[in-house]
Structure 1
Amino acid sequence: MQHVAENFAADLERVGGKAARRITSAGEASGNVVVIGVLGQSAVIEELVRAGKLDAHDIAGEWEAFRQIVVEHPLPNVARALVIVGSDRRGAVYGTYDISEKIGVSPWYWFADVPVRRQANVYITAGSHRDAPKVKYRGFFINDEDPAFSSWANKRFGGINARMYEHVFELLLRLKGNYLWPAMWPPKAFNDDDPQNKIVADAMGVVMGTSHHEPMTRAHDEWHRNKEQGVTGGKWDYGTNAANLRAFWRGGIERMMSKGNGERYESLVTIGMRGDGDEAMAESTATRLLETIVADQRRIIEEVTGRPADHTPQVWALYKEVQDYYDHGMNVPDDVTLLFADDNWGQIRRLPTSNLDRKGGYGVYYHFDYVGAPRNYKWLNTVQIEKTWQQMDLAYARGARTLWIVNVGDIKPMEFPLSFFMDHAWNPEAMTLDALERYPRDWARATFGASQADAIADLITRYSKYAARRKPEFIDASSFRLGEGVGDTLNGGEFGALVAELHDLELDMMKVKAALPKDQRAAYLQLVEHPIAALSNLYQLYYAVAWNRRLAAAGDARANAFADQALEKFHRDQALTDNYHRVNGGKWDGMMSQTHIGYTNWQSPPTQVMPEVTRIPAQSVAKPIVFASGPVHDEASDVIAIEAPHYTRAVNGSGLEWRTIPNLGRTLGGITAFPQGRGPTTQQDAVRVEFDIEVRRAGDLTVQLYLSPTLDTTDRGSLRIGVSIDDRPMQTLIDKLLPSPTATTLQEQRDWNRAVEDNARILQAAFPDIGAGKHTLKIWRLDDNVVIEKVVASTGPIPLTYLGPSPREPRPSAALRP
């Protein structure tokens, strides 16, 4: 409580310009005051309850609930008080930071330098307001934190220590989170590196945990340090080294209980075991061995705490191959929270199908950052909140309501999606589709004020869409198609259209920047300017490399101009990084040091590598560079491409309604039937959308459905959707997309790689002998969690991809010229 009281006093000074006086007893109070306390633990609060001036019975015994109420004459010499009462200490903290945010102090005031606007007056609505979280544990995981987060922390704080973590804890609590997996890349260990870490976390009210492969509160690096008395280390193998592992884990629980007086540092204890170095424990599913491990871990918990194991909250993370144990029927104690996971790329792999009332409940471990196959993505924010919403809304509907945790890498630059994730976790029921659509504007207004909120929301939404189409680490000179050159004219093709979209976005970003007051420029650079400029520059770099290689191969001296442009963009990339590191006096120096140019496999290159370009000898004569203008796609072709939200009609039924998730995916948005989480339907249920199309040339009609990549979360192994034309029989398309840990064949692995690389899944149907003229294409809802983004049909050949706008959608501006 001391921390939040001090921070709230500082917030009042930030807003009002005058320091707020802190008092510790009712006798010191006079004038108008703010009272912060916990129900049942504050004498002032209890007296107000007894006097009938405060009714807080509806939060008594609740988890992290709070009530804010304006009370007249609560104390002698006090005319009026804003009373913030929590059902527990975190409830009081959230009730206080909720007021801070409402008076204009962003949760990102420190972590993104969002300025606080001075105000002469702020007003609190009379009456009473109650709130409480719908998801019990809500938090994030600092991971993959080298070189960026680590180098920043070393430069600013001398290490990843308690002084640094105090800022992380405050951010977490201001975002109404309560749970943290700390930075753990070797050689880091939260409890061992700085003993003050756990003390500060506990004092501020943060529940600490450890990641999916670090059981019993132990950082994995501690095992290799061999510092614990009685632990000789050795192989991380329970079959051959169980005694040492048990001693190691016992030390972790003993440390958790070292607070004194039988109390523990508040923790949600990870149980189970994976292999050494975040790998599989065994080549096959060793279910009985893992059951033995969990039983032994719970015995240690009972022996050290002196209480039954179910009195200590525990979580078992079903990450990667660990999910196989669950699917194969491993017996898990009912009080243990089962934490399902996504495929590391935003597609949830599994959700509960039964036993929704289990005591420990269920949760989801989600990713905004990842190191691993088919390629890392660590550099920029590439998250579409619309995709996160669709997946987590499904998770909540299916009963995953105990724990939501997201891997955010270095925290920065994930500020926007992390804000969304935490707001969604606080109350998934309030985050409706309408609230989702408003969210970028609401966030921009809270961060930068009303005058530019709409423009900034548009920038953030467009950036998120472009960045999510393909992670930056996947982009190179061969990522997208160039158009065919005709004579002296070069057609930018698909690549040029994407470059142009980003260039237009960058120009719009600069216009908004010019209109902002100077005190918002540092926050704007971090939250909006840098990611847009950096992504746009990366596309321009590889676009120039692509043209250089195309022209050089033809002996065309115009290749030299593109070589020059590529080199300039390569140097600009470093300049953009340096500019970020200089912002606000170098406060964030090191935070953007993640390498991202020069990938040759899944792992980051150790240094940035300039892509190879070729120069044509000087004696060659370069022709003028002329770009084609006009559409990227041929309007006269037989291809019909329709954005899914542009369906002609929707047929609802069985309690389901078709709705659009705006902006989801690579172009306009996605459609699916709501509410999510419902069981399968059949063609007889008639839940479908219809597209009226006109076929120009008779023949065999090919229909492609562009879907948001999703996975079957019911353990059936596939998702189904129906397609028909006119009154012909429905074809059932089966999507057997399997995540990397589940893929058993090379083709399955390739399918998954392609889906996550392209951020799209394409299913295809064929209808023979379709006559020219008007027809009705029908898409039938069969399974849940199938989201349609685009429909493409033709009686002729269909291009490989339609990454950008459809042929009949508005065109981007012409491609950039070197």
Structure 2
Amino acid sequence: MRLRVGLTFTVALMTGSPALACSTAVSICSRPTAGSFVLVRDGVPAPVFVDGQADTAVRRVADELAGDLQRVSGRAPLRLASVEQAKDQVVIIGTLGQSPTLDSLIAAGKLKTDDLKGLWEAYRQIVVEQPFPGIARALVIVGADRRGAVFGAYDLSEKMGVSPWHWFADVPVKTRINLWLTAGERRDEPKVRYRGIFINDEDPAFSGWAKKQFGGVNAKAYARVFELILRLKGNYLWPAMWGKSIALDDPASLPLADDMGIVLGTSHHEPMTRAQAEWHRGVKADGTGGAWNYTTNAENLRKFWRGGIERMMSKGDGKGYENLVTVGMRGDGDEPMSEGTATELLETIVADQRKIIADVTGKPASETPQVWALYKEVQDYYDKGMKVPDDVTLLFADDNWGQIRRLPDPARPDLRRRGGYGVYYHFDYVGGPRNYKWLNTNQIGKVWQQMDLAYRRDARNLWVVNVGDIKPMEYPLSFFMKMAWNPEAMTVGNLRAFPRQWAAQTFGDAHADEIARLVTEYSEYAARRKPELLDQNSYPLGEATGEWLGGGEFGRIVADWQTLAKRSEAVRATLPADQQSAYFQLVHFPIVAVGNLYEMYYGAAWNKLLAARNDARANHFADVVERTFARDSALTAEYHAINGGKWDRMMSQVHMSYVIWNDPTKQTMPSITRVAADTPEHRRGVQPEFRAIAPRDIRFDAVKFDRATAANGVGWKAVPDLGLGDGALVATPQGSAASRPGEGPNAQYDFNWPTNRPLMVSLRLLPTLNTINSDPLRVGVSVDDGPVQTLSYALTATGGAQNTPGEKAWAEAVINNSLTLEARYPDLKAGKHVLKIWRLDDNVVVDEIALLSRP
């Protein structure tokens, strides 16, 4: 892919780079302007004040902001015990209705907050002139609630150059001797209510790292996780759950989450705030036990669940720890609860759980936020009419591979509900067709396409993403959380600008363009096939395809990775020492590690082919396999050694030589065969030659249309960082009703057909699902002014065994990250023609078009 990187981008995305939008209100600036606030002058930062009786989350973020000012200026700011101690400038942080200092500013007419009252996590940043006697100016950060104040403070930190990943990826902070904030005020608030992550599949990597670094997955480890979530403007966590309980493993973790302002939940199969591990290792203490089966063991399960809600309310203030309570039930070990669709039983379970919630909290269950995850087979219950209380958030899920399975039907306003809807999304997964959890293989364009669709279809109450071990997912997680804060601001233009903006924020402007290209092209290459799915048979060699002599498709892909690695190494060589650690983690390691894996399997493929012919050139490729296998371990060791071993064990996930869907027990080199070398040529290890043969077919990215015609406000748009080429076509705005063949939007492509012969139009699409029902999704094709051929596909993604045609087709599509539809024209005349691709159904993504001479 050749990323077209814009040099400017909107204020909505302009955070973290003090390259400095001096013309907008309350923005970082490297020079003073009229009425600006002095954040740092001659290396001295402004003092910070927070009321002594402020909420713990607000006092904590004041400490963090002071630390960030020290990181930026090199000097710790004064921490004032009273605002009167300020002599010139002061930063004031507070929560509406909970700060006497803010109350006095409001009473004096210096601060207006009526538009903040009652809002969720909203904040205002405002430069106030002469807020108190003897003080020239104050930067006031006022939150509508405690997290509003937290986000307002962290927003300032990010603007002045402290990355949310400053600790979790060692992103350095550039020292600034002078920094100002422009005058004025700005208000911001989230569009999605709950925004968070799920630490999952965390053994051996995250768990091993936390044990080495902190002594376990304990409050010390979670303090770093909580801080990261808040800096990314998230508020929600499903804790690590492979044999773990955040409540039992360290009693300090729950109070810490509450002190910092984190809303806790439990995963889709862990109801009533109880980790599944508690059932296995803590039930005897509760006086409960038996099978995880509501039909045979309901009383014990109710006791167990009551204990979870009682613990939630144990804070002692009558309100309890802030929690979004998961309701419902799946089988033990994240399995189906029963073989059939036990709708009535599940409705009974939820009714009983809500009775427990009401009994323990002393208020109607509807006043305690709850979520019901429609994961895997539970969606079948919903599809078949399962009744869900109106105040419960319905959490739809993707197919574990990035395609959302179900969303509210825009034609059914009766489906609108007080509890709203949400989406559980995956960057990591354990399950079929194969586990994928080693490195990031997620394109932000795909995340945008699916989550934009979700938002437009009213899934706005909860976005939670499975991030596995956190560390490999820094880049897509940054995008996911930024988009979750304001999906409306994440336009296609801002999506296009994001890679460069992220690169500039993380590494500065000097190399931002090339780093943006590197992370984008990495995502494109990784999207071809996830590393865990690779082996020596993944792609054809030249003799199998006839397209190339020698390397074939496999060789071309390996060459792509080698070129990308060289470019990354060139950037790495020019970066200053303080950026080396972050660059290796965020950019270089994924590129060279995945590229090395491709090279290893490519060598294994050639070794197998040549050894079968008793061709001693097989020995060269045996050497390649051994060298790359050793390099894989060396790269992991290099990662674990960076920054004094800070991230030791974080990259310990097994990632090669899979034979079934689940992890192998250890890294295993592909088998190789050596042949006796009988000629000087063979002993030199001469490789097969790589010589291109011109293809006869016409192939081009779908985004390279000549014209596009909109209809009813809907039109095809080129979406970057999506698919296997230079972006993909998506009809926007998403969430619109279906179009009729020949009447909807179309994209047009001029082409010249050389002779009278048959034409087959082959469309490569990305896997997507019909989020309203199980009907096929449709797209139209026509040539010139001829009739529209309707092409369709139906993928069934239950997450179970691939025992139906739809499930088999789904498995093949997600393995290849593509599917193909064909339209045939038996006798197309030579000359100039126009191909039209018609938008019919929503959520169809066109990646590539091929014009083939086929009968």
Deviation at 1:22, TM superposition (A): 1.6
Write the mapping of 1:358-757 to structure 2, written as runs, cut at 5 A.
358-484=417-543, 491-619=550-678, 622-623=681-682, 625-631=686-692, 634-635=694-695, 637=696, 639-741=697-799, 745-757=803-815
| 1:787 and 2:845 aligned | yes
| 1:328 and 2:328 aligned | no
Write the mapping of 1:170-319 to structure 2, written as runs, cut at 5 A.
170-186=227-243, 188-227=244-283, 229-319=285-375
AA in 2 matched with 1:634: A
Deviation at 1:743, TM superposition (A): 7.8
1:414 match: secondary structure: helix
- Distance in 2, Cα, partners of 1:544 & 1:743: 33
1:299 match: secondary structure: helix
Name the CA shift for 1:28/1:255 in 2 (closer, same or farther; >3 Å): same
Match of 1:803 in 2: none
Name the CA shift for 1:707/1:743 in 2 (closer, same or farther; >3 Å): farther
- Distance in 1, Cα, partners of 2:498 & 2:579: 20
AA in 2 matched with 1:701: L
Match of 1:143 in 2: 200
Question: What's the Cα RMSD here?
Answer: 1.6
Q: Is the 8 A contact 2:710 2:716 kept in 1?
A: yes
Match of 1:2 in 2: 59
Q: Is the 8 A contact 2:269 2:334 kept in 1?
A: yes
- Distance in 1, Cα, partners of 2:679 & 2:797: 51
- Distance in 2, Cα, partners of 1:302 & 1:308: 5
Deviation at 1:626, TM superposition (A): 4.9
AA in 1 matched with 2:357: I
Greater mean deviation of Cα atoms: 335-344 or 28-37 = 28-37
Name the CA shift for 1:539/1:40 in 2 (closer, same or farther; >3 Å): same
- Distance in 1, Cα, partners of 2:601 & 2:79: 57
Deviation at 1:439, TM superposition (A): 0.1
Deviation at 1:127, TM superposition (A): 0.7
Match of 1:67 in 2: 124
Deviation at 1:728, TM superposition (A): 2.9
- Distance in 2, Cα, partners of 1:331 & 1:746: 28
Q: Is the 8 A contact 1:356 1:399 kept in 2?
A: no
Name the CA shift for 1:255/1:189 in 2 (closer, same or farther; >3 Å): same
Q: Is the 8 A contact 1:540 1:569 kept in 2?
A: yes
Q: Is the 8 A contact 1:69 1:126 kept in 2?
A: yes
Deviation at 1:228, TM superposition (A): 5.3
Match of 2:77 in 1: 20
Q: Is the 8 A contact 2:545 2:552 kept in 1?
A: no
- Distance in 2, Cα, partners of 1:356 & 1:137: 20
AA in 2 matched with 1:326: Y
Name the CA shift for 1:743/1:602 in 2 (closer, same or farther; >3 Å): closer
- Distance in 1, Cα, partners of 2:559 & 2:799: 37
AA in 1 matched with 2:779: I
Deviation at 1:794, TM superposition (A): 1.3
Match of 2:14 in 1: none
Q: Is the 8 A contact 2:768 2:843 kept in 1?
A: yes
Match of 1:770 in 2: 828
Deviation at 1:494, TM superposition (A): 0.5
Q: Deviations over 1:387-436 (max 9, x none)?
A: 00000000001100110010000001100000000000000000000000
- Distance in 2, Cα, partners of 1:104 & 1:75: 29
Match of 1:802 in 2: none
Q: Is the 8 A contact 1:698 1:795 kept in 2?
A: no
AA in 1 matched with 2:781: V
Match of 1:87 in 2: 144
Q: Is the 8 A contact 1:721 1:779 kept in 2?
A: yes
2:607 match: secondary structure: helix
Q: Is the 8 A contact 2:802 2:811 kept in 1?
A: no
Name the CA shift for 1:717/1:542 in 2 (closer, same or farther; >3 Å): same
Deviation at 1:742, TM superposition (A): 7.3
1:74 match: secondary structure: coil
Q: Is the 8 A contact 1:695 1:794 kept in 2?
A: no
Q: Deviations over 1:1-52 (max 9, x none)?
A: 2211111111111111111122233343333111000011000001101101
Name the CA shift for 1:67/1:499 in 2 (closer, same or farther; >3 Å): same
Q: Is the 8 A contact 1:657 1:674 kept in 2?
A: yes
2:125 match: secondary structure: strand
Deviation at 1:701, TM superposition (A): 2.1
AA in 1 matched with 2:662: Q
Deviation at 1:622, TM superposition (A): 4.4
| 1:101 and 2:161 aligned | no
- Distance in 2, Cα, partners of 1:110 & 1:11: 11
Q: Deviations over 1:657-693 (max 9, x none)?
A: 2210023101111112211100101024242112222
Q: Is the 8 A contact 1:490 1:626 kept in 2?
A: no
Q: Is the 8 A contact 1:218 1:252 kept in 2?
A: yes
Q: Deviations over 1:276-334 (max 9, x none)?
A: 10000010100000000000000000000000001100000011111011101111000
Deviation at 1:227, TM superposition (A): 4.1
Q: Is the 8 A contact 2:283 2:304 kept in 1?
A: no
Deviation at 1:108, TM superposition (A): 0.3
Q: Is the 8 A contact 1:556 1:622 kept in 2?
A: no
TM-score (norm 1): 0.95
Greater mean deviation of Cα atoms: 724-733 or 659-668 = 724-733
AA in 1 matched with 2:281: R
Deviation at 1:630, TM superposition (A): 4.3
Q: Is the 8 A contact 1:228 1:248 kept in 2?
A: no
TM-score (norm 2): 0.91
Q: Is the 8 A contact 1:385 1:417 kept in 2?
A: yes
1:650 match: secondary structure: strand
AA in 1 matched with 2:647: W
Deviation at 1:514, TM superposition (A): 1.2
- Distance in 2, Cα, partners of 1:504 & 1:486: 23
Name the CA shift for 1:620/1:628 in 2 (closer, same or farther; >3 Å): closer
Q: Deviations over 1:198-241 (max 9, x none)?
A: 00000000000000000000000100113454433110000000
Identity %: 59
1:666 match: secondary structure: coil
Deviation at 1:77, TM superposition (A): 3.0
AA in 2 matched with 1:377: Y
Q: How many residue pairs get matched?
A: 792
- After TM superposition, where is structure 1 displaced by more than 6 Å over at least 4 residues in a row? none
- Distance in 1, Cα, partners of 2:88 & 2:704: 60
Deviation at 1:619, TM superposition (A): 4.0
- Distance in 1, Cα, partners of 2:378 & 2:544: 51
